[in-house]
């Protein structure tokens, strides 16, 4: 069936229902996005699908958050093609590389939470991806906080018209290029994430924080404070506000990932009662 009536084409927003059907029924799924983000992913970034007549039986999504870098964002294959998922992935990857190169992308990344048991990791290593970064995963199961942090700063919802330049300044100061967001990414985050705030010190934006929700799970995606405003309790304040948000949302678990060598962040998370998981996360990279 894989070879019969096969067609590979770019996916469009009108294909959302077909993708969601595979997400619900597929035996092999990788999902690095929430359903709220799916429309913007399809509208902005290369995504390819494998079709049999009018039926989608495989998809592969990407996200370009900081050109020339892109991320492997989602993959799924229909249950009827489960035995062929390796071939489906290979076919879709080959087409996605072409589409990403046309957008100026040079590096494609894949991340997972468990290097020992990730079902896609070995397949991607076999297709030219290489280990690039190691990650730690943390979970928190309560809403306890050790401190409310700096109460002299102002926390308010993000306003991209006035805040974007400061957000980009914070990105450049805090993160290597792998993790930086560009203006389009910040627009998508503001449109799809239920909590996105900035922190002001003496009237200037010096940090930000945003979260995601998925069913009864909470995802603490990013806390960033410009180094010039470090050691003032601002990161603590942002973390405390995030926990309050998750408490209002009544999530059962708060999850986050961080780089293995981000020792300052490890201390903050563990002080707030996050538990480091035994499994180790990772990032793979491929030059395309």
3-state secondary structure of 144: coil
pLDDT score at 100: 98
137 alpha-carbon distance from chain centroid: 13
The residues pairing with 138 across neighbouring beta strands, listed in sequence order, are 256, 276
Comparing C-alpha atoms, which of 31, 24, 82 is closest to residue 61?
31
Q: Do 80 and 159 sit in the same domain of this protein?
A: no
3-state secondary structure of 23: helix
Q: Do 171 and 77 sit in the same domain of this protein?
A: no
* Domain annotation covers residue 112: no
Q: Do 153 and 101 sit in the same domain of this protein?
A: no
Spatial neighbors of 193 by CB under 8 A, at least 6 apart, are 210, 211, 212, 221
Q: Do 99 and 25 sit in the same domain of this protein?
A: yes
* Domain annotation covers residue 120: no
pLDDT score at 6: 79
Q: Do 216 and 160 sit in the same domain of this protein?
A: yes
pLDDT score at 161: 97
Spatial neighbors of 207 by CB under 8 A, at least 6 apart, are 170, 198, 199, 223, 224, 225, 226, 229, 234, 235, 238
pLDDT score at 53: 84
pLDDT score at 5: 64
CB 262 within 8 A of CB 129: no
* Predicted TM-score (pTM) of this structure: 0.90
User: What tens-digit pLDDT sequence spans the chain (288 residues)?
Assistant: 445 567 999 999 999 999 999 999 999 999 999 898 999 999 999 999 999 888 999 999 999 988 899 999 999 999 989 999 999 999 999 999 999 999 999 999 999 999 999 999 999 999 999 999 999 999 999 999 999 999 999 999 999 999 999 999 999 999 999 999 999 999 999 999 999 999 999 999 999 999 999 889 999 999 999 999 999 999 999 999 999 999 999 999 999 999 999 999 999 999 999 999 999 999 999 999
* Domains held by the chain: number: 2
First CA to last CA distance, the chain: 29
Residue-number span of the structural domain to which 60 is assigned: 6-105
Q: Do 77 and 16 sit in the same domain of this protein?
A: yes
At 71, which CATH number? 3.40.630.30
Q: Do 18 and 89 sit in the same domain of this protein?
A: yes
Q: Do 79 and 156 sit in the same domain of this protein?
A: no
């Amino acid at each position: 069936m894989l070879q019969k009536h096969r067609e590979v084409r770019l996916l469009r927003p009108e294909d959302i229902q077909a993708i969601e059907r595979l997400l619900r029924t597929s035996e092999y799924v990788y999902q690095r996005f929430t359903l709220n983000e799916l429309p913007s992913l399809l509208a902005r970034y290369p995504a390819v699908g494998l079709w049999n007549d009018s039926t989608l039986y495989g998809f592969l999504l990407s996200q370009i958050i900081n050109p020339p870098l892109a991320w492997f964002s989602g993959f799924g294959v229909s249950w009827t093609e489960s035995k062929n998922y390796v071939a489906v992935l290979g076919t879709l990857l080959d087409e996605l590389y072409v589409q990403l190169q046309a957008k100026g992308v040079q590096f494609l990344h894949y991340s997972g939470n468990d290097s020992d048991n990730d079902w896609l990791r070995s397949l991607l290593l076999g297709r030219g991806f290489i280990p690039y970064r190691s990650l730690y995963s943390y979970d928190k199961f309560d809403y306890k906080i050790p401190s409310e942090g700096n109460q002299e700063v102002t926390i308010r919802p993000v306003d991209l018209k006035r805040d974007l330049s400061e957000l980009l300044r914070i990105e450049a100061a805090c993160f290597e290029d792998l993790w930086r967001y560009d203006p389009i990414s910040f627009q998508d985050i503001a449109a799809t994430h239920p909590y996105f705030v900035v922190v002001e010190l003496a009237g200037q934006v010096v940090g930000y924080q945003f979260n995601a929700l998925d069913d009864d799970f909470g995802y603490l995606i990013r806390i960033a404070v410009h180094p010039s405003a470090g050691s003032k309790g601002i990161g603590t304040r942002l973390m405390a506000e995030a926990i309050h948000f998750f408490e209002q949302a009544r999530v059962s678990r708060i999850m986050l990932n961080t780089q293995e060598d981000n020792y300052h962040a490890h201390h903050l998370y563990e002080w707030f009662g996050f538990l480091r998981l035994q499994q180790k996360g990772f990032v793979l990279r491929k030059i395309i």
